[in-house]
Amino acid sequence: MRLVTTRRATNLTGLSTEQLREWSSRRALIPADIQNRGRGSQAQYGWQAILLLRIALLLKDRFHVELHAHRGLFAALRKALGTTSFIKLRGTSVAIYDCETWELIDADAADEMSADAIVVQLDPHLAVLAAEFTMPGPPPTGQLEL
């Protein structure tokens, strides 16, 4: 698994270094994959942690969600992302129903939802991560030439 340092993680998430440390160490909302080992070493983050940090920032900035109340949600999402391939996430969204209830849904299914939820489309976030972590891009559209 490829990991990025704190410096690169701040660029990928839009968080300041202080916010990133606060969220991943002090408040432990979304822990780093490898914590720093003291002065001079940096924490390291995998694509799942970066994706969750981007979602958390969106929830905080756009919807003014209190992140600490959603700590369990982030832990459950991280566990699920650990067993889900990057490619399988293409074309999906995360529907967040409350502080602990969520599901991955097909991006087109958001219009058919029967319950209220905050729906976060993953493709814009995955596009950023694909470039940094050398993950496969979206499949080509249309028919390939022979």
pLDDT, tens digit (0-9, with 9 covering 90-100), for 66-118: 999 999 999 999 999 999 999 999 999 999 999 999 999 998 887 788 899 99
Distances (CA, A) of 107 to 10, 96, 121: 27, 13, 7
As a whole number of angstroms, the distance between CA 137 and CA 131 comes to: 8
Q: Tens of pLDDT along 17-73?
A: 999 999 998 888 999 999 988 777 889 999 999 999 999 999 999 999 999 999 999
Q: Enter the tokens of residue 28.
A: 């432990």
Domains of the chain listed by start with CATH number: 4-132 (1.10.1660)
Q: Which residues pair with 45 in a beta bridge?
A: 4
Going by C-alpha positions, the residue among 138, 90, 97, 130 that lies closest to residue 114 is 97
| The pTM of the whole model exceeds 0.85 | yes
> Parallel, antiparallel, or unpaired: how do β-strands 92-96 and 102-106 relate?
antiparallel
Residue 71 phi, psi dihedral angles, 5° rounding: -55, -45
Residue with structure tokens 């022979």? 146
Task: Copy the structure tokens of residue 25.
Answer: 């160490």
Task: Provide the residue type at 29 as one letter.
Answer: L
Q: How many beta carbons lie within 10 A of that of residue 143, not counting itself?
A: 6
What's the CA gap between 92 and 70, in Å, rounded? 21
